[in-house]
Amino acid sequence: MEKLFREWLEETTKLSESSIGKYIRAIRAITKDMLAEGVIDKDLYNVTSSIEFDSMKKDITSNKCFNLKDTKGNRMYSVAMNHYSEFLKSR
């Protein structure tokens, strides 16, 4: 899914290659952190259902660790998840 997400970002947004790379890495970082926190139980790139992802996203955005990192990162992590959610809905 990571490759398909990258292609979708390239084709449907006007984001720079740098921003696309940051969002791709952000989903990986969120997965790593939230697996470690016990908030999720699988890699976000293995989620293919927008309904399932949006449910996981609610749990993630309720997590203090995530919110601290997201604030420090100028909301890049939440924006990356918003893009991933839209990508899944478009499939």
pLDDT tens for the chain, 91 residues: list them: 999 999 999 999 999 999 999 999 999 999 999 999 999 999 999 999 999 999 999 999 999 999 999 999 999 999 999 999 999 999 9
Question: CA of 61: how far to CAs of 17, 18, 29, 39, 67, in Å?
Answer: 26, 24, 14, 10, 6
- The whole-number pLDDT of residue 6 equals 98
- The whole-number pLDDT of residue 19 equals 97
Backbone angles phi, psi at 48, to 5 degrees: -115, -10
- The whole-number pLDDT of residue 16 equals 98
What sign does the CA torsion over 73, 28, 51, 6 have?
Answer: positive
First-residue to last-residue Cα distance in the chain = 11
